Structure 1
């Protein structure tokens, strides 16, 4: 696998920073300012929820480290188990399309959530059940966008590390959505049960 061209590596770093700002910072700051509620409700305890949170942080930090390495130390990519069969222009273009599309989708889902936006499970504040926008098509549109995002990154940088990130992210998000669904069922009862009957978990 040859290193990414400097321009593409720079674009990937720019995209990654934009993704983190949109997916985790932008809406969180907005909700905090408008409601006074901190939407960051992650935990570091030894529960399944805490384990998933730590795992996802690991996945995201690995992503940032990989992208920085692609810019600062391009030859390093050759030592990360490149999957040469996927290193094709068409595959890379598909990866970029998935990255950009997932970012737009995630931003739209966050706007639809409004004041209900949270990173994690908020057991202290009862949030409204959102059923509009992307939530009318998927019960978990933000996690869906994150899954597509990891796939896009894998196609842009096809190697053993991005494949491992894709698999780890998939497993962790599958657990997290079930934890969140159990919470929403407990909070919203029949309304959430009705929503589950009408809208699929993913698409």
Structure 2
């Protein structure tokens, strides 16, 4: 199990970042004629949040490569022994795989509305079908589940730190995007917001 996780973790995150960020962004950029990464680079508070988000993603990616490079030390550094159980690792792996599929499906369903950040220049369509019938933020939901799965598969204090900080930053981003969508789509978004939960609606 240990050897499998040693290779699974880095391969998973390489695929996740390549497909969900780079691949989808390139596909959308080709269709809309602009970079879908619209995170600001000015001195605003939102730009600061975007910078923190990039730093956390970069640090997370580096950390997930370390088990492959240093298999004897990284998996046991700051390990949470009570959670270091094979059944929990199997659950974590399952959550990570399902989350990856979930995120990719949601991105495909967003079509040309996919953005990294808030697009204040080009108006995007409000997507309410597919996975968006059950979650207003299925991509962030999938990313959160993926981080939870990572923490179970690789139970260290550092992994849980990434999960916590990542979840907090995503919740901030979600609320900023909600304000933007309300301004763009008005009562249509308000009706959608009342019908569908921020992360998940069970009905």
- Shorter-chain TM band: over 0.9
From 101, 106, 109, the counterpart of 1:104: 101
Equivalent runs, 1:176-195 vs 2, <5 Å: 176-195=173-192
Offset of residue 106 of structure 1:
0.3
Say if 1:146 and 1:133 are closer, same or farther in 2 by CA, change over 3 A: same
Say what the alpha-carbon RMSD is for the aligned residues: 1.4
- Which residue number corresponds to residue 52 of structure 2? 55
Offset of residue 79 of structure 1:
6.0
> Gaps (5+ residues) in structure 2?
none
| Contact 2:36–2:114 (CA under 8 A) maintained in structure 1 | yes
| Contact 2:38–2:118 (CA under 8 A) maintained in structure 1 | yes
- Over residues 37-66 of structure 1, what are the superposed CA-to-partner deviations in whole Å (9 max), with x where a residue is unaligned? 210111233333222212222222222111
- Which residue number corresponds to residue 22 of structure 1? 19
| Contact 1:9–1:67 (CA under 8 A) maintained in structure 2 | no
From 86, 89, 103, the counterpart of 2:86: 89
Q: Distance in 1 between matches of 2:123 and 2:81?
A: 49
Offset of residue 76 of structure 1:
2.7
Offset of residue 6 of structure 1:
3.2
Equivalent runs, 1:25-174 vs 2, <5 Å: 25-77=22-74, 80-174=77-171
What is the total number of aligned residue pairs between the two structures? 200
Larger CA deviation: 4-13 vs 139-148:
4-13
After TM superposition, the score normalised by the length of structure 1 is: 0.94
Equivalent runs, 1:190-201 vs 2, <5 Å: 190-201=187-198
> Gaps (5+ residues) in structure 1?
none
After TM superposition, the score normalised by the length of structure 2 is: 0.94
| Contact 2:5–2:153 (CA under 8 A) maintained in structure 1 | no
Task: State the secondary structure of the residue aligned to 2:198.
Answer: coil
Task: State the secondary structure of the residue aligned to 1:110.
Answer: helix
